[in-house]
């Protein structure tokens, strides 16, 4: 089958991303981030993000086309994130994509950002031009998808489906996805990535990334919190303190025969409170707060409960292949423990390289290519961005 050349545009938060794929092969992933401008505010400021997209879009597009060695005329379809995300930020990407579609006459696909986070796992494992060893930097370069995706962790998992998972729009049966981001923590069964995705479990309060960001603030580690805690945790003792694992009590989990109401669900707000109490206790005693130990113990609690419930959901629902996606999928301990537990449970895990975990255009292009290959009709140019797309 013809492998469509698809341009993907992402602008839902602080990253302006343009990615280009041919079918399931990544050609380039160019990202410009405005995070530096938000850090001092302790969170992404929508107005600043929108303006930054406006500045960054054209140069990012030009760089992506140059790196992929293609022109706009060569492109078969354009895909753009239509939501969820910041309304003003989404509008910049959607408006640019519509203009490109009208000017070039190419079909345009509206893409759900969250589905794209897991759809990126469908890119194949071949190294790409200009980056033969994979594991590319987050910006300005083609991102390789070889098993180098697991790189520094030294895991034995297979990296992205080198077998061409998702080629021609066909997915393996029994495919699941663990989506762990700043706004979502979900375990999904994917029958068709285009339109048949069932949620098996999710967080009932904070998302995992949100918990990382809130705890990082508590510990004075700044924003964004995930990478800061990940780094500091390496110097701490995760066993020094034991934080609660939410929704793991028998009344919530139940048994296989009689599942509890939250068998595959997570809760992270109690954990955040437990960390706050712990810090207060050290301060009340006039002792130094062991920030690295708290970071390590917090991370262990999050990762332990995410991976144990995800693997439970996979085993009990016959899921044998799992895609890991979302910003928190960049977490070193999550990558490590998910790899270990999936391998012990006989589940094949597909982990994107770090550069494809955080927001990027390649994931949008990858999902767009799936839609083209599955023969789905384009969205046209009349759709509006939807900041709260489910």
Q: Per the annotation, where are the binding residues for Fe cation?
A: 113, 117, 359
Q: Which CB sits closer to ligand KG4, 180 or 193? A: 180
In the sheet that 108-112 helps form, which strands lie side by side, from edge to edge?
25-33, 15-22, 5-10, 77-83, 108-112
Which run of H or E residues covers position 20?
A: strand 15-22
188 touches ligand KG4 (CB under 6 A): no
Find, among 105, 104, 19, 89, the residue nearest to 385 by Cα.
89
User: What is d(CA 157, CA 149) in angstroms, rounded to the nearest whole number?
Assistant: 10
158 touches Zn ion (CB under 5 A): no
User: What is d(CA 210, CA 343) in angstroms, rounded to the nearest whole number?
Assistant: 28
Which run of H or E residues covers position 197?
A: strand 196-202
Find, among 225, 180, 187, 218, the residue nearest to 335 by Cα.
180
225 touches ligand KG4 (CB under 6 A): yes
Find, among 219, 214, 372, 370, the residue nearest to 302 by Cα.
214
Q: Which CB sits closer to ligand KG4, 14 or 101? A: 14
Pick from ligand KG4, Zn ion, none: which does 338 bind, CB < 5 to 8 A by kind? none
User: What is d(CA 142, CA 279) in angstroms, rounded to the nearest whole number?
Assistant: 42
> Which residue stretch of 2-10, 30-38, 181-189, 260-268 sits at the interface with ligand KG4 (rule: CB under 6 A)?
181-189
Q: Which CB sits closer to ligand KG4, 141 or 227? A: 227
Q: How far apart are CB 5 and ligand KG4 at their closest, in Å?
A: 26
Q: How far apart are CB 390 and ligand KG4 at their closest, in Å?
A: 14
Contact 84, 388 (CB under 8 A): yes
Q: From residue 266, how far is each of 215, 249, 271, 307, 330 by CA, in Å?
A: 17, 11, 11, 11, 19
| Residues that contact ligand KG4, how many (by CB under 6 A) | 19
Which residues in 79-138 contact ligand KG4 (CB under 6 A)?
117
213 touches Zn ion (CB under 5 A): no
Which residues in 275-314 contact ligand KG4 (CB under 6 A)?
none
Tokens of 30: 């160019």
Q: Which CB sits closer to Zn ion, 147 or 203? A: 203
Q: Which CB sits closer to Zn ion, 6 or 329? A: 329
| Residues β-bridged to residue 5 | 22
226 touches ligand KG4 (CB under 6 A): yes
Which run of H or E residues covers position 46?
A: helix 46-68
The annotated binding site for substrate is made up of 179-183, 213, 226, 230, 331
Q: Measured in whole angstroms, how far is the alpha carbon of residue 155 from the centre of its chain?
A: 19
Which of 182, 246, 352, 385 touches ligand KG4 (CB under 6 A)? Answer: 182
Measured CA angle at 226 (ends 224, 230), to 5 deg: 135
Q: How far apart are CB 85 and ligand KG4 at their closest, in Å?
A: 7
Pick from ligand KG4, Zn ion, none: which does 272 bind, CB < 5 to 8 A by kind? none
Count CA within 13 A, CB hemisphere, residue 243.
30
Which run of H or E residues covers position 123?
A: none
Q: How far apart are CB 331 and ligand KG4 at their closest, in Å?
A: 3
Measured CA angle at 351 (ends 350, 353), to 5 deg: 140
Q: How far apart are CB 168 and Zn ion at their closest, in Å?
A: 26
Which residues in 111-140 contact Zn ion (CB under 5 A)?
none
> Which residue stretch of 27-35, 51-59, 132-140, 208-216 sits at the interface with ligand KG4 (rule: CB under 6 A)?
208-216
Which residues in 311-370 contact ligand KG4 (CB under 6 A)?
326-328, 330-331, 358-359
Which of 197, 268, 359, 367 touches Zn ion (CB under 5 A)? Answer: 359
The annotated binding site is made up of 113, 117, 179-183, 213, 226, 230, 331, 359
Binding string, residues 167-206; x marks residues near Zn ion by CB under 5 A? --------------x-------------------------
Contact 254, 316 (CB under 8 A): no
Q: Which CB sits closer to Zn ion, 23 or 326? A: 326
Instruction: Tell me the H-state helices in 69-150.
Output: 87-104, 113-119
Contact 347, 319 (CB under 8 A): yes
Chain residues binding ligand KG4 by CB under 6 A are 117, 181-183, 209, 212-213, 224-227, 230, 326-328, 330-331, 358-359
Chain residues binding Zn ion by CB under 5 A are 181, 359
């Amino acid at each position: 089958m013809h492998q469509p050349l698809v341009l993907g545009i992402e602008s839902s938060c602080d990253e302006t991303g343009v990615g280009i794929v041919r079918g399931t092969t990544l050609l380039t992933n160019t990202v410009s981030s405005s995070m530096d401008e938000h850090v001092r505010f302790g969170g992404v400021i929508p107005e600043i993000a929108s303006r930054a997209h406006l500045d960054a879009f054209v140069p990012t597009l030009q760089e992506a086309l140059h790196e992929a060695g293609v022109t706009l005329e060569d492109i078969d379809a354009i895909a753009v994130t239509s939501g969820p995300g910041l309304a003003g930020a989404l509008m910049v990407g959607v408006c640019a994509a519509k203009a490109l579609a009208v000017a070039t006459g190419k079909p345009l696909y509206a893409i759900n950002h969250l589905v794209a986070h897991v759809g990126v796992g469908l890119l194949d494992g071949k190294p790409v031009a200009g980056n033969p060893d994979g594991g590319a930097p987050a910006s300005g370069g083609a991102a390789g998808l070889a098993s180098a995706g697991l790189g520094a962790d030294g895991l034995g998992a297979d990296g992205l489906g080198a077998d061409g998972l998702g080629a021609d729009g066909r997915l393996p049966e029994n495919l699941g996805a663990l989506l762990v981001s700043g706004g979502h923590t979900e375990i999904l069964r994917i029958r068709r990535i285009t339109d048949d995705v069932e949620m098996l479990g999710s967080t009932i309060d904070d998302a995992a990334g949100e918990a990382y960001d809130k705890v990082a603030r508590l510990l004075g580690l700044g924003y964004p919190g995930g990478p800061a805690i990940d780094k500091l945790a390496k110097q701490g003792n995760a066993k020094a303190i034991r934080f609660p694992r939410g929704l793991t009590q028998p009344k919530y989990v139940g048994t296989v025969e009689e599942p509890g109401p939250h068998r595959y669900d997570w809760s992270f707000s109690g954990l955040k409170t437990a960390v706050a109490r712990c810090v207060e206790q050290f301060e009340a005693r006039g002792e130094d707060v062991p920030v690295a130990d708290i970071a390590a113990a917090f991370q262990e609690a999050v990762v332990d409960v995410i991976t144990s419930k995800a693997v439970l959901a996979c085993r009990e629902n016959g899921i044998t292949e799992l895609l890991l996606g979302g910003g928190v999928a960049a977490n070193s301990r999550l990558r490590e423990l998910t790899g270990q537990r999936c391998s012990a449970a006989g589940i094949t895990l597909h982990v994107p390289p770090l550069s494809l975990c955080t927001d990027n255009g390649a994931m949008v292009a990858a999902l767009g290519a799936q839609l083209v290959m599955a023969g789905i009709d384009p969205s046209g140019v009349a759709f509006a961005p939807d900041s709260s797309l489910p």
